[in-house]
Amino acid sequence: MGDAHRVGVVGLGVISGTYLDTLAGHPAVRVTAVADLDAARAAAAATALPDARALTVEELLSSPDVDTVLNLTTPAAHAGIALGAIAHGKHVYGEKPLAAGLEDARAVMTAAAQAGVRVGCAPDTVLGTGVQTARAAVEAGSVGRPQFASAVMVTPGHERWHPHPDFYYTAGGGPLLDMGPYYLSALVHLLGPVRAVTGAAGRLRAERVIGSGPRAGERIPVEVDSHVSGVLEHVDGTLTTLTTSFDGVATTAAPIEVHGERGSLCVPDPNRFDGEVRLHALGDTQWHPLPVAAGYEDGARGLGLLDFLAPGGGRANGELALHVLETMTALLRSAAEGRRVELTTSAAVPAPVPWTAAADWKGRSAPSPA
């Protein structure tokens, strides 16, 4: 454990438990500090981590015992925490989106470049066997040259299950900024970066009712669009039709489909690490499941941080997160202004993930960021 990369966790809300399940005890990392605006919550988390101290946020960001800050705060705080960590010479890996706004995200990337530190960002679900097997099929020519794709995410809203859903309906929230990173990151892996978008959006309700927890029955305002759709123009000319909504109950649409000259591919939910990939070849009469061929087996949140630290890793990186964020904000801008918007960023398609057994990625030795 003496060579393990030292990680400090900021933000100990709902998602932190899943991350810590992956990271605690992993030979590549050592969680040395935790911090939260709720000091009692930080203290409770520290008791379950033998090497961790409960600190204030500023103490953690400046701690000499932290190499990388894992930023699990709400979207509105992402940029502030990242910039604070970078100012102290720390690498940063954060939850998505990279920041609540594009200019803040650009500031994070600029500061990191100037400081000589690295930025990583969720989602890491796209590194699992579901999306990676689909990518391997596309790259092997199973559908021929891709012509177009569709991506659909429909739910009735997170307030039904989340005890504190307010941030989903304020700046930095909404179905696109919340769930879009999963779909858009997967689409970049599958089809490459985006050059322009055309969007439409709306909100059907002015408020939502919390459905669980101590605030059940409380009404919260909706300050962002709760239904966003649009068309993405990929650099290679492929078109993707995207729908993200907190205003529907359910859908029978596949999460992602890629259609080409020789076949159609059904891609599993990019919010999961696994799932069945199915192919319908031209001239065939039905869909056929494809065997798992790529990706990290039995993935879990926190995998992206481990990949970020590994030699040759860094697939869930800041460049991709910035491009995904601009794609989403451009869709919202297009919807507001009623016009096509060209993007100013791009991103290299991350290296594919070869099939990697769970035992291998869960027990690799500790690397250091370059």
Which tens digits make up the pLDDT trace of 27-80? 999 999 999 999 999 999 999 999 999 999 999 999 999 999 999 998 889 999
Please report the DSSP string for 221-268 in residue order: E--S-SEEEEEEEETTS-EEEEEEESS-S---S-SEEEEESSEEEEEP
pLDDT at 316 over 70: yes
> First CA to last CA across the chain, in angstroms?
20
Least confident of 43-52, 163-172, 230-239, 244-253: 163-172
User: According to the model, what pLDDT value does residue 229 have?
Assistant: 98
Give the C-alpha separation, 241 to 183, whole Å: 11
The DSSP element (H or E) to which 187 belongs, if any, is helix 174-191
Cis ω before 27 (30° cut-off from 0): no
Residues 287-310: tens digit of each pLDDT: 999 999 999 999 999 999 999 999
Give the C-alpha separation, 241 to 256, whole Å: 10
**Tokens found for residue 249:** 């109950």
Q: What angle do CA 124, 157, 82 make, to 5 degrees?
A: 40
* Radius of gyration, CA atoms only, the chain: 20
Residues 6-22: tens digit of each pLDDT: 999 999 998 999 999 99
367 pLDDT band (50/70/90 cuts)? very low
Residue of 95, 65, 10 lying closest to 302 (CA atoms): 95
Residue of 136, 233, 241, 234 lying closest to 191 (CA atoms): 234
Give the C-alpha separation, 219 to 211, whole Å: 10
**Tokens found for residue 202:** 């709306």
Residues 124-135: tens digit of each pLDDT: 999 999 999 999
Question: Count of alpha carbons within 13 Å of 109, Cβ hemisphere only?
Answer: 20
Averaged confidence pLDDT in the chain: 95
Q: Taking the mean position of all CA atoms in its chain, how far away is CA 147?
A: 25
User: According to the model, what pLDDT value does residue 208 have?
Assistant: 96
pLDDT at 365 over 50: no
Amino acid at 78: H
Using alpha carbons, list the distances in angstroms from residue 165 to 178, 216, 325, 327: 12, 11, 21, 24
Residues 263-275: tens digit of each pLDDT: 999 999 999 999 9
By the 8 A CB rule, do 296 and 361 touch?
yes
User: According to the model, what pLDDT value does residue 363 have?
Assistant: 83
